[in-house]
Structure 1
């Protein structure tokens, strides 16, 4: 069939789709990259300005605190309380009161100061701007060798700056100063400073002391804060661990932008971060613009999908469904397509293909029927002469012995045997009839062999009695057992017939204690069955094997094994899911 006047649906849709998608996506990518870059620069610039500004303000406050500590350490009233032993109780109380008023004044003037404490270790006493005069045992705050007099230390969950006298302090465990000044930083002030960097889940900041302690919980805490701290530290250390740092790290399921600034001499670093999920106002504008562009893309895309579905998907689906029905065995299916395009050609070719398949199947069925008939006629011609000769010879012997009752019984069984062969014109019969014919043949042979051979006949399951099987699949196997297996047996010969029905297979087992059970003989018989080319030996079993596979499929057929009786075991396996 010539495809004249056809317009390619695929070509038009493909060109349209490529042009639209390329234009829209290139435009979208350009817009997105431009705004993403702009937003990133804005965020980085904002973070840098905030960090630098707030670090500068904090450094000024810490400088004020340090100068205040130095002034207090130099205050003569503290020296008098420590070294002047001539002061009486009233004089000492007046000096302490004056110091408290002075300390409270300093505290009220600077909101970064939470408390000012003067420590008298040897007197086990301290003066606090908040708690006043009290007794307290001196416990030195752990320090490392990198600390200076300006360095902030971490004690009781708070950041403190401590200046001890003498000014050159020691880190030895037995060092006890004469006195000292400790100023505790206000947590509220530090929190307010952190909130300037962000108060949501997407941005925030925290302080890190040189000892590794983290101050501030804005806006995360606990395990999340520890992960952020570790993420920043790894990125900071990777870049060399300088005083100023700008870089990225991944934690909490997203990428974070970190910026840190250290305050030299005070042992504190401000770390600000912004999550990759954080979106500023510029990003919202970019997102809005991208949304509009994507909306246009979506409309065009759905239009393309609709056209593709109408012109391509539905016709293809119809073809697939038709192939599915053919696969299930429906060869009456035909499909049609009105538009003059590729699908009309496909549909017409499909219809011609199904018609051709129907013709081939009918040819195969006819060939199968002819083959079965030919093989059956061949099998019958191979069986009848030899069996008929033996039968006449046995009748002659009975007549000479004047065993007339046996002659009557034998001739009756023989008549049944030949009536089955000639009257049963159907090629497929009930299994019960096939078993009856086999047992009639056994009766004939037992008249010949007498007590030399014992036959055990199993009970045919009722579920299999009405099952259709090819004619003459059992009697030839029994004949093989008599003619080959029992040929050299003079006494105590045994033949056993049993049935096993385990879904979906019916197995009919015929075994004997004859001479055919050797592994060499079994392997030779298997070769005959699998590659039968008209040999005399093994032709009956090969014939039955081919007919069973032709009737019930490749899972059915004949299996050969060594019998527990000592001879050959022949198993006929039939798939009962297949009905004739």
Structure 2
């Protein structure tokens, strides 16, 4: 109460100061009112014209200079953009080729192609499955790979990401040996519809017409390449293409323009390939096609033996510059008209509302806090009057507004805490992945990478405040799988079946992760055996009639001392203030802010040993009560 009185006194003093300043200014104006030569309206018009005139002159000069500069920069930008796309494509193809060469030394591939006679049928099948899994990894490593295959002539089999094992037909083997004799760079176009990357082993044996031990093949996705090319030209009449003397991949809706532009480039690509060019800068030309100018940018790739082309209509990038000068004149005319009208309107708009506001301030100065202003127009004075009314009528609620602001700050703090990632968990996870990879434990490393990717994708997702409970459980399951691999199965876990009615129930994101992390980090001691973490679900009817959903994270570890448990109960009930905000307290505050006092975190010791940490969420009336426990 003392604080509110102080605020009232401060507000009244502030109003008195404003009125006194206003009265001094008004007195000065009245003293010179009879000697004025120009009205306020005239001064407003002249002032606005004086202000905009230099800006117009400077703007005209800047427009002329900018037009010239923009033309040059557009040319440079198109060149740099095409070179960037060329480099990106070369790097991606080079990466895939190096990845293929790494697979040459695969143990399963060597055993199938070299020592297949010593393998049993079961060993062959197991090797085929393992190698197919690695082919899937190769396929998933790039958006541009549509299919990864391996042809193994010694066993007459084909392994691919689409088929576990198929027969290698003699026609296919003959075609592979025939293709090996044709020199090509990087990309290989086959059957008029496939872009391939191949690795023969051994290379010389295939080139001499003999059966290779195996052939690795990556089929690139032409739709993905076209999608990649579409990024190079966003104009509807423009386009982009990868041009080889014998084939092409085109992304354009303007076929006529492309046909005229690509013809000389195909011949140029053939000449550069014959000359063995090792470097080729981007070239820009202006081509006229049916009275329409096109800007074309092309760059030959010696590494791939192809030419990248991008073309756009000139008016799509340059047309707007030619209209700027006309727009400047139109803007000038409109500005003069607007200045006159605006000055007249401002003169009428400001004078009367200000007088009314001054009279209201004088009432507040005298101590009348019940004054209220009414204003019909929806302009800035309407907002000013509304704020004045708010200040007067709601002054006694300032404390509550401060408290509300504190809650907003707290929500911001909780959101920041929510997005934090434990650095030790990140370091340990990557170190464990390194050890598994070094030990050739590809099965566990593949699983671990999958779970780790799902975990960080979920944690770092932005803009999503609420998720279905089922999705939150999937995230926790990924975390538990990661911990199971980290602890080599010494800590097991189980998750009860979630009832169908709760799967789509929306909950705040990342409310279960801190509870599960605490169970793994603090719930067990080194000598503890049969360590287990369990997540279960129960519903309880509260005395108020509300149905509460309990999601409990239980462990059979060392539990919690009585005094420590008492401290936690005090923190969760608001009787004590913690020295720092932990993940569990963060979850508790978020649940309380969203669902009210019935929600939150409950901690209890288990009779059989260990600890049970539960999140409690009141269920809406639309969700029926399935069970109680």
Q: Give the alignment's TM-score, normalised by structure 1.
A: 0.40
TM-score by length of 2: 0.37
Which of the two has higher C-alpha Rg? 1
